[in-house]
């Protein structure tokens, strides 16, 4: 689809502030400004700065090629949506919350999210936190020895579902986006998770079955709705990509690595050990 088609869809779908935000992002998207990107040599550890975005994709090089050519565009705008997404008309991103080495970030999200209750009855409090890879036993030992904790349960982190990880090969490719420029920062103002947006503006970005729950959770996140997510209205251009994170399967595939590098000549490729394998 071209710019005119995206604008046509926006005008049919949104109104008021929502339409203003989406049209502004479409205009910015097509400016496709080149940005300064972090550079690495083979063997160096990748450092993720606070505010960096990551986006994992299903499949292999077919989806990769589409994004490189067309950018990160919400599926609703392309006409291919099956209407299953709770958050619509936006592109989901993992928002790095603090400066961290990529290897440590991967270790953290390759673990589990554990939720436990402190106390019993009406006065009890529910707490959720992410437990790093191979730290589950250590954490549950602490919990079991705490007389104030009554019950607990754990589930895989949401990142395991959407990014290459130490525990699953289902995702093999994720993009690392440099969001340091004023250009990038202007685009991400149109974030569905922005708590300054009013309820009316958010309506066309949320499935009706999720709307009330979202309004509650955007101020009080839980294990299933983390504070690590962003959802950018319409999308973001591929010019923001500075690196590609690959899983073990693609790391061993020389032809796939060559293809990725040919498509993104100014970007590095790194593995789930957090190290650059192609500069």
What residue ranges do the domains of the chain occupy? 3-107+159-278, 111-156
The predicted structure's pLDDT at residue 83: 66
Q: CB count, 10 Å around CB of 253?
A: 16
The predicted structure's pLDDT at residue 77: 94
Q: What is the pLDDT of residues 1-45, one digit of tens each?
A: 689 999 999 999 999 999 999 999 999 999 978 888 999 999 999
272-276 average pLDDT score: 98
> CA 55 to CA 72: how far, in whole Å?
9
Q: What is the pLDDT of residues 52-87, one digit of tens each?
A: 999 999 988 989 999 999 999 999 999 877 667 889
Please state whether beta strands 149-156 and 112-118 pair in parallel, antiparallel, or not at all (unpaired).
antiparallel
Which residue, chain included where needed, has tokens 């294990």? 223
- Provide CB contacts within 8 A for 15, sequence distance 6+: none
Q: What is the pLDDT of residues 251-261, one digit of tens each?
A: 999 999 999 99
* pTM, rounded to two decimals: 0.93
Does the structure show a pLDDT above 90 at 262? yes
Does the structure show a pLDDT above 80 at 223? no
The predicted structure's pLDDT at residue 222: 62
More confident site: 224 or 129: 129
């Amino acid at each position: 689809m071209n710019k005119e088609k995206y604008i046509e869809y926006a005008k049919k779908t949104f109104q008021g502030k929502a339409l203003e935000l989406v049209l502004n992002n479409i205009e910015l998207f097509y400016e496709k400004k080149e940005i300064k990107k972090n550079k690495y040599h083979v063997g160096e550890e990748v450092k993720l700065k606070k505010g960096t975005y990551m986006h994992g994709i299903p499949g292999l090089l077919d989806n990769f090629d589409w994004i490189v050519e067309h950018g990160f565009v919400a599926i609703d705008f392309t006409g291919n949506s099956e209407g299953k997404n709770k958050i619509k008309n936006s592109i989901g991103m993992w928002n790095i919350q603090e400066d961290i080495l990529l290897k440590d970030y991967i270790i953290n999200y390759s673990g589990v999210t554990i939720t436990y209750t402190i106390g019993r009855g009406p006065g009890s409090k529910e707490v959720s936190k992410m437990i790093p890879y191979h730290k589950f036993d250590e954490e549950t030992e602490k919990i079991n020895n705490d007389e104030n904790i009554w019950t607990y349960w754990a589930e895989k982190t949401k990142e395991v579902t959407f990014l290459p990880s130490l525990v699953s090969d289902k995702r093999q490719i994720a993009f690392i986006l440099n969001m340091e420029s004023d250009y990038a920062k202007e685009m991400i103002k149109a974030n569905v998770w922005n708590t300054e947006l009013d309820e009316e503006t958010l309506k066309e970005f949320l499935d009706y079955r999720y709307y009330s729950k979202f309004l509650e959770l955007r101020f009080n996140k839980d294990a299933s709705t983390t504070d690590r997510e962003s959802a950018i209205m319409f999308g973001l251009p591929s010019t923001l990509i500075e690196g590609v994170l690959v899983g073990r399967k693609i790391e061993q595939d020389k032809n796939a690595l060559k293809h990725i590098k040919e498509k993104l000549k100014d970007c590095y490729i790194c593995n789930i050990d957090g190290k650059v394998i192609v500069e």
